[in-house]
Amino acid sequence: MKFNWIAPSNSTVNFDQHKLRLEYQLRPKLVQFLLKELEEECCVDFSCFVFDVYLATGKVAIAQETPEVFTTKISKGFKTYF
């Protein structure tokens, strides 16, 4: 699983600590969600999943780099879970 960290373009803030906190919050929640939704239908380590994380808001979205077959399978549940 990979995160694309998206910071506001006009920001001068160092988001390193914020990224660390968000990753510790998001990773377990995302793994739990993916295990529930996919029931072992994909890669073992979830390396095929990429998520966009907006640092200003903490919102998370499925990135375009995620294979379409998986995006289609998780998108409906993702919208309600996140």
What pLDDT is recorded for position 53?
95
pLDDT recorded at residue 38: 84
Q: What is the pLDDT of residue 43?
A: 66
Q: In the sheet that 2-6 helps form, which strands lie side by side, from edge to edge?
A: 2-6, 50-54, 60-62
Domain of residue 56: give its range: 2-81
**How far is 75 from 81, CA to CA, in rounded Å?**
10
Is the separation of the CB atoms in 55 and 3 below 8 Å? no
- The per-residue pLDDT for range 9-61, each reduced to its tens digit, is 777 667 888 888 999 999 999 999 998 888 766 666 788 899 999 998 889 99
Q: For the chain, what is the domain count?
A: 1
**Which has more pLDDT, 37 or 65?**
65
